[in-house]
Amino acid sequence: MPSFSELGLSEYIVRAVSEQGYTSPTPIQQQAIPAVIGGGDLLAGAQTGTGKTAGFTLPILQRLSTSANAPKDTAGRRPIRTLVLTPTRELAAQVEESVRTYGKYTNLTSGVIFGGVGINPQIKLLKHGVDILVATPGRLLDHHQQGTIDLRNIEILVLDEADRMLDMGFIHDIKKVLAILPAKRQNLLFSATFSDEIKTLADRLLNNPAMIEVARRNSTVDVIAQKIHPVDRDKKHPLLAHLIKSHNWSQVLVFTRTKHGANKLVEQLGKDDIAAMAIHGNKSQSARTKALAEFKDGSLPVLVATDIAARGIDIDQLPHVVNYDLPNVPEDYVHRIGRTGRAGATGEAVSLVCVDEFKLLADIEKFIKRSIPQEIVDGFIPDPNAKAQPIQLRSFEARGRNQNAGRGARPAADAGRGQPRQPAKAGAQGGPRSGHGDARHPGSAPAARQSTQRRSGGRGNG
């Protein structure tokens, strides 16, 4: 296996990587690093957990630090030379943190901009200038519209988690961004899946790209110990409290299906003296940042998240993931449990499954092509005569996507918070586009997708 320096990275970058404790490049890094250093376009099939972020960040740092100094822009600022677009704020923040970490011994600078927070500090940052900018599409366009960003010197464009961006309705924003960028540039597209929509985007964006595909996460599933605890619907919460206490779990990420469910669970765990916080779309950015930071540094043992909020959360070697509710979409199961056992570490994923969810479980097992071992916990034997009930979802969540899907609407500024797509009105984007708050648009497009599937699943159950 080649070392990082054999892949063409300078000692400054290799030093930062070694400090992270990485001893050898992951498969995606082995392929992506030389390809990107070579200067060509890249189409990479890789999911979170494969080391993809370093896969594009390291060679970009290498290119920017060795290529001739780009001229200052007309205002004398440091021009933005690389733009990384991500679907969510969390991912944007994490990618930029990676850029900082890996680039600490280079003299390159980076910054991050996303919606839902004040625009003024970002304007200041952009005035000062950065070499590498990580952004969510909506806020980037806000800046463009206000004339506070100059993208004419972009040499490298990265679309990270492109499939998620399309899922969240960002295609129009992406097209707008592409139209602003200089035509001659290097393009890197990362996506976990390759739908026809992604292929169309790739065809349009990429010029004779190198293609890399690393193992899908359903095969990473191999390193994660998975277990089902069958349990009665109303015993899930005491069972979770029991598991956390009896195993002394000190860092566990718990998934619930709805924001309401997340809040309720946090409250219930609190009554059992288990400190927990929720992160989901109705929480303010500062509450989410705080919860995530405390969870990461080990002071908060339990983080309760919905699928959308959890996207892009990167926590090294998370030991335990609990599916408090099974997701309605089998792929989400794989995404959830992939939060543990990352980059070679082993982890454990436990699902609390009640009679209502047996159909969902069957779908998941089919998708991952294996059956998951079941273990009944002492004291939590499920009632064998229990009848399945349709899984509840608040009705406005179900309406969100159905009303708006496919109308070419622009999603709210922060897709990470999971608002529904809003129908575009002519001229609606004329004004400043800050302040797309959750409060105005409760609900969730992906949640609605779940509801659609749930309804068909429900019929299958009955």
Give residues in contact with ligand AMP (CB under 6 A).
22, 25-26, 29, 48-54, 314, 316, 342-343
Least spacing, CB of residue 105 vs ligand AMP, in Å: 17
Angstrom distances, CA of residue 300 to CA of 184, 230, 250:
47, 27, 8
Quick one: 48 or 451, whose CB is closer to ligand AMP?
48
Quick one: 8 or 458, whose CB is closer to ligand AMP?
8
Do 301 and 252 contact (CB within 8 A), yes or no? Answer: yes
Tokens standing for residue 11: 């000692």
Least spacing, CB of residue 405 vs ligand AMP, in Å: 29
C-alpha to C-alpha distance for 91 and 311, rounded to whole angstroms: 7
Quick one: 316 or 383, whose CB is closer to ligand AMP?
316
Quick one: 48 or 351, whose CB is closer to ligand AMP?
48
End-to-end Cα, the chain, rounded Å:
53
Tokens standing for residue 330: 């089998």
Quick one: 261 or 338, whose CB is closer to ligand AMP?
338
Least spacing, CB of residue 300 vs ligand AMP, in Å: 19
Do 153 and 73 contact (CB within 8 A), yes or no? Answer: yes
CA contacts within 13 A on the Cβ side of 170: 31
CA dihedral sign, ordered 89, 93, 98, 103: positive
Say which residue the tokens 């005491």 belong to. 238
C-alpha to C-alpha distance for 264 and 304, rounded to whole angstroms: 10
Least spacing, CB of residue 176 vs ligand AMP, in Å: 27
Least spacing, CB of residue 58 vs ligand AMP, in Å: 9
Least spacing, CB of residue 99 vs ligand AMP, in Å: 12
Quick one: 16 or 308, whose CB is closer to ligand AMP?
16
Q: How many beta carbons lie within 10 A of that of residue 148, not counting itself?
A: 17
Least spacing, CB of residue 161 vs ligand AMP, in Å: 10
Do 167 and 115 contact (CB within 8 A), yes or no? Answer: no
C-alpha to C-alpha distance for 150 and 77, rounded to whole angstroms: 10
Quick one: 50 or 122, whose CB is closer to ligand AMP?
50
Tokens standing for residue 348: 């454990």
